[in-house]
Amino acid sequence: GESVGLHLPTLSVQEGDNSIINCAYSNSASDYFIWYKQESGKGPQFIIDIRSNMDKRQGQRVTVLLNKTVKHLSLQIAATQPGDSAVYFCAENIGGGSRLTFGEGTQLTVNP
């Protein structure tokens, strides 16, 4: 069945370091992936997306890597800042439409 999950529930980094958050998915038919950031008391906020015909996409300070061979997705955050502290979710879409299936999230803590 559909399944999106994360390897690590928590990640703690020092300010200025690079962060890598991982996500495993099980459905090879997934054709679109999104990373969301959720701060405490707020709804998820779009960070970056990638389609299954790509293996890398870069944004401002963030990079998403997709490895379809091992069904693995990662989010890299460069020069992590205290404002990056939040829970990060990966979500997948299968077969068009708008339905997203979310994983369980990784809590990123940035230490000053």
Binding-site ranges for another protein (CB under 8 A)? 4, 32, 34, 41-46, 49, 89, 91, 93, 96-105
Cβ distance 90 to 34 under 8 Å? yes
Between 47 and 110, CB nearer to another protein? 47
Q: How far apart are CA 90 and CA 112, in angstroms?
A: 26
**Rounded least distance, CB 45 to another protein, Å:** 7
**Rounded least distance, CB 52 to another protein, Å:** 12
Between 16 and 59, CB nearer to another protein? 59
**Rounded least distance, CB 90 to another protein, Å:** 9
**Rounded least distance, CB 96 to another protein, Å:** 6
Cβ distance 62 to 46 under 8 Å? no
Say how many Å lie between the first and final Cα of the chain, rounded. Answer: 41
Amino acid at 65: L
Only one residue has tokens 């708008």, namely 98
